Structure 1
């Protein structure tokens, strides 16, 4: 696995170095499953999990969460080297970006998305692959969308929340409606909403997704650092 590379820092908030752990022991404690050694979101909400540390005891706790629920995704500063018994399903490198701009008054026409919209949200996520999205992901809150002729064609929302920061996620647009600025408009809307609460928006994007990174930079997001994304299951 690759070592973490330091990138231009936009802040030293420790919570952003271990976002999942700080979210599940803080503002999103009500969504946590697990114990002191390892925590995760319920699989229907998101696959993300975090270890308290890298001791055998914490990995044992993580093993129990995988056995009981499903494989997990870890986002860490350093490469994860699990003990025997785990299976590496995927490894990738993420770029964590933090808002550095000035919010603008949102102009994007939109609708607030609720539980009744979940079937359409799942279909849009399946078609566009913006990242993990399950039947209970709506519980993160803050989801907004654009409808054309009654059809949901774009959406974006909030995901992990730590002290002073809220993540923007699930930004996606139906292929037939791209190039109209819908994703940008929804992101500006979310940025304005998060900033109005006195918080700072942030996001994660695959380092290989150069097009998205360029768009996020243009919107006012700056690179904070690279992170490891490691998806683990159990060895057969």
Structure 2
């Protein structure tokens, strides 16, 4: 029987086994998202990632392997490691109440371009437009312009990950991200699932997550690879 703890230790794997199974691409026991949605990969046996990475790199130029402890293997004459991100996983311990001052809007398909543009403005590089299909997105508008968002990314039967926490540079330090994370967390709790999130160690946002009731659970590392 697969437990919540099992799923948390390998979130990409179990998201693709469960809620996001429709996005699954599998090579020899290694699982990846359809790269039009997301470019994350997962594994249990690192020796199997050699050939699987070769096959996946034929349909995407860059991709991540996500793992708590194990190190993936690749053919270095075909694929190079761009960087390793030392990340961590946080889960909700006890939600701390927040006053919602700004109107929070559920985002729909008509907002896809705005979501994409805002994420690429603040965090250029990896978000795909079809990433919007992974879960719900919420936003705050100012003068008709989308200036802050939160979204949902990996999902299983037990948890939903909060991601895409982005605020336009002209609207930071106004508590928009705090309100959006709180709202998204409550929405996940209403679905009777555990809110989780991932971030890099040392991220300046970690104290905010902690103030909202999240706590560190484990390391979660991200290896970014690029096809040669």
TM-score (norm 1): 0.87
Does 1:113 pair with 2:72?
no
Q: Give the CA RMSD over aligned residues.
A: 2.1
1:70 & 1:19 partners in 2: Cα distance?
23
1:126 to 120, 126, 133: 120
Task: Report the CA distance between 1:34 and its aligned residue.
Answer: 2.5
1:204 to 198, 211, 227: 198
Does 1:193 pair with 2:184?
no
Aligned to 1:159: 153
2:58 to 59, 67, 75: 67
2:89 & 2:125 partners in 1: Cα distance?
15
Does 1:34 pair with 2:50?
no
Seen in structure 2, the aligned counterparts of structure 1 residues 83 and 61 have a Cα distance that, compared at 3 Å, is closer
Seen in structure 2, the aligned counterparts of structure 1 residues 113 and 72 have a Cα distance that, compared at 3 Å, is same
Seen in structure 2, the aligned counterparts of structure 1 residues 130 and 161 have a Cα distance that, compared at 3 Å, is farther
Aligned to 2:12: 20
1:217 & 1:101 partners in 2: Cα distance?
10
Aligned to 1:228: 221
Seen in structure 2, the aligned counterparts of structure 1 residues 81 and 42 have a Cα distance that, compared at 3 Å, is closer
The answer to whether the 8 Å contact 1:145/1:156 transfers is: yes
| Ranges in structure 1 where 5+ consecutive residues have no aligned partner | 1-10
User: Counterparts of 1:69-88 in structure 2 under 5 Å?
Assistant: 69-85=60-76, 86-88=79-81
Aligned to 1:215: 208
1:205 & 1:83 partners in 2: Cα distance?
24
TM-score (norm 2): 0.90
Q: Deviations over 1:5-29 (max 9, x none)?
A: xxxxxx9711111110111011110
| Ranges in structure 2 where 5+ consecutive residues have no aligned partner | none
Seen in structure 2, the aligned counterparts of structure 1 residues 84 and 26 have a Cα distance that, compared at 3 Å, is same
Seen in structure 2, the aligned counterparts of structure 1 residues 103 and 218 have a Cα distance that, compared at 3 Å, is closer
1:96 & 1:187 partners in 2: Cα distance?
16
